[in-house]
Chains A and B, each alone.
Chain A
Amino acid sequence: MSFWEKIGQIDRRWIYLLVALAVIFPIVVPVQLPVGITPEARQLYDAVEALPDSCAVMLTFDYYPSTVAETMPMSVAALHHLFRKDIRIVTMTTVPLGGPSIAENVMADMAAQYGKEYGIDYVNLGYKANYTAVLLGMGASIESIYPADNLGRPLSELPLMQEVKNYDDIEFIFVVADNGIIDTWISIVNAQFGTPVGAGVTAVMAPKLYSFVESGQMTGLLGGMRGAAEYEILADQQAMAVMGMCAQSLVHLLIIFLIILGNIAFFTMKAKGRES
């Protein structure tokens, strides 16, 4: 069996092993590679930066635990930026599995870091089923949709929610999502109520959303771990996403190498087949 034949029939588990090593090595021996800032990430950062101090922003945790590697760093970086600017935050989720508890834990950690007080500086509304009705209903009255917060405290007892009654009182909506909910934020909330929407989404979803940034329906976009790393750099809070980008780049180089190798093997074997 020739070298190219062996390459063509290589056990896929060797490739898994190579990919695992390519990920593990940069984590154990950290090497920082430069991460360029895309215009879409810059636009989102600038939009948040331009918000008046002490205004209210809605930050969503519309993601499942399976995608936290991409999405949670975006939420954390956004919270650093927002809390540092003394912006008051209302969080919510349209995802039942994991969304409410991720929001609760991340908000509690970040609020403790910045000395923020629940009910005054931030509120976690939690989860409500039927996201279309939720997003539409909050345009009229948040309290009619969420009579109580994530832990059952009535909104009437939370000072922040006395000032934030509906989308009119929210300056910006920062959606972090791993599913098609972003379409609804754009088509219902941005289109009907005019509240600016910026988003951080998983890489799978990002290509579809660039057209919304171009059309002005979205104010900035973060795509996947790279987007999270960009926001970490912009917010000057480099953490897990920036650390992961070296592994990301190394694996991409490995995949490109394997694709080229596989194609050479394929065409070499095809040419040999023709000759024989």
Chain B
Amino acid sequence: METLGIWVAGLSTLALFSFLYKDNPFYRMAEHIFAGLSAGYYFGLIYQAVILQQLVDPIGQHWQMLDAGTGDTTYHTMKIIFLLFAGLLGVMMFSRFFPKLSWISRFPLAFIMGNTAGIYLMSQLHGLVLPQMAATFVNLASPLGIVIFFGVVATLIYFYFSKEHKGVLGVGAKVGIWFIMVSFGAHFGYTVMARISLLIGQLQFILIDWLKIV
């Protein structure tokens, strides 16, 4: 079975690589199989991990407790109500498929947006923005820290659009562009390395695991 899997993976890899020469039926077949398999796998996983494990099973467990008369009745009742409410919000999202009822989906969306904003506002501020600002100032004792400080200030000047970039502001914005370009260069270099790594990994699979040439 494992050998069959390796052969399917090897042939699929070659089919997908064939697009580098030109578009062809083998590439399209592999692409469609991948899309279908991913959708099926994802559906099965989400059904198991969300619908069953986080909704159906807990409701069943609390219902059993209520039925057996064990534990705090109010607690189990409230848990069931909360879970049913969450399930209802999920069902309401499907109203988007019906244009006349699509307004109903705004309620769960509003709930998600409010929830997400509440969580991320604090975590982003306290977990990312403030520590990064503090580190920018704290490291001023070292030469690299000074470069980082001026880089941050110059880049922020570049993104300040309420005043024309002339004079001191213009010089700062130009310096900011240089820092941004260096950052783009670093990102591009790393991206090239990442893509080549994926090619190396796949060719290692073909030559070592599949064809056993090495």
* Given A191-B123, A207-B183, A252 and B135 contact (CB-CB distance below 8 Å): no
Cβ contact within 8 Å between A255 and B192: yes
**CB neighbours of B102 from chain A (8 A):** none
**CB neighbours of A28 from chain B (8 A):** 207, 213-214
* Given A69-B204, A190-B127, A244-B204, A224 and B214 contact (CB-CB distance below 8 Å): no
* Given A96-B42, A191-B123, A206-B190, A67 and B198 contact (CB-CB distance below 8 Å): yes
Interchain nearest-CB distance for A67 vs B (Å)? 7
Interface centre among A183, A190, A215 (most CB of B within 10 A): A215
Cβ contact within 8 Å between A203 and B190: yes
Interface residue A23 (Cβ < 8 Å from any Cβ of B): yes
A 238-264 to B, binary, CB cutoff 8 A, 1 in contact else 0:
001001100110011001000000000
**CB neighbours of A96 from chain B (8 A):** 42, 45-46, 49
Cβ contact within 8 Å between A127 and B49: yes
Cβ contact within 8 Å between B197 and A224: yes
A190 to B126, alpha carbons, bound, how many Å? 11
* Given A13-B20, A188-B123, A226 and B193 contact (CB-CB distance below 8 Å): yes
Interface residue A66 (Cβ < 8 Å from any Cβ of B): yes
Cβ contact within 8 Å between A248 and B131: no
In the complex, the chain B residue whose C-beta lies closest to that of A211 is B132
Interface residue A204 (Cβ < 8 Å from any Cβ of B): yes
**Interface size in chain A (residues, C-beta < 8 A):** 56
In B189-213, the 8 Å CB interface with A consists of 190-194, 196-204, 207-208, 213
In the complex, the chain A residue whose C-beta lies closest to that of B191 is A204
> CB within 8 A of A248: which of B120, B191, B197, B207?
B197
> CB within 8 A of B135: which of A128, A129, A215, A247?
A215
**CB neighbours of B53 from chain A (8 A):** 128, 147-148
A23 to B203, alpha carbons, bound, how many Å? 8
Interface residue B134 (Cβ < 8 Å from any Cβ of A): yes
* Given A27-B203, A28-B207, A97 and B193 contact (CB-CB distance below 8 Å): no
Cβ contact within 8 Å between B207 and A70: no
Cβ contact within 8 Å between A224 and B207: no
Cβ contact within 8 Å between A70 and B198: yes
Cβ contact within 8 Å between B194 and A203: yes
Interface residue B41 (Cβ < 8 Å from any Cβ of A): yes
> CB within 8 A of A202: which of B123, B194, B199, B204?
B194
A19 to B199, alpha carbons, bound, how many Å? 9
**CB neighbours of A212 from chain B (8 A):** 132
**CB neighbours of B50 from chain A (8 A):** 129
A216 to B135, alpha carbons, bound, how many Å? 8
Cβ contact within 8 Å between B49 and A248: no
A 22-60 to B, binary, CB cutoff 8 A, 1 in contact else 0:
011001101000000000000000000000000000000
Cβ contact within 8 Å between B198 and A66: yes
A223 to B198, alpha carbons, bound, how many Å? 14
- 13 A-B residue pairs with Cβ-Cβ distance under 8 Å, sorted by A, are A20-B199, A27-B200, A67-B198, A96-B49, A97-B42, A132-B116, A132-B120, A187-B126, A211-B135, A224-B190, A225-B197, A240-B201, A255-B192
Residues of B at the A interface (CB closer than 8 Å) are 20-21, 38, 41-42, 45-46, 49-50, 53-54, 116, 119-120, 123-124, 126-128, 131-132, 134-135, 139, 148, 183, 186-187, 190-194, 196-204, 207-208, 213-214
Residues of A at the B interface (CB closer than 8 Å) are 13, 16, 19-20, 23-24, 27-28, 30, 66-70, 96-97, 100, 127-129, 132, 136, 147-148, 183-184, 186-188, 190-192, 202-204, 206-208, 211-212, 214-217, 223-226, 240, 243-244, 247-248, 251-252, 255
Please name the 10 residue pairs, one residue from A and one from B, whose CB atoms are nearest each other, closest first: A69-B201, A187-B127, A215-B135, A191-B127, A203-B194, A225-B197, A244-B200, A203-B190, A187-B123, A203-B193
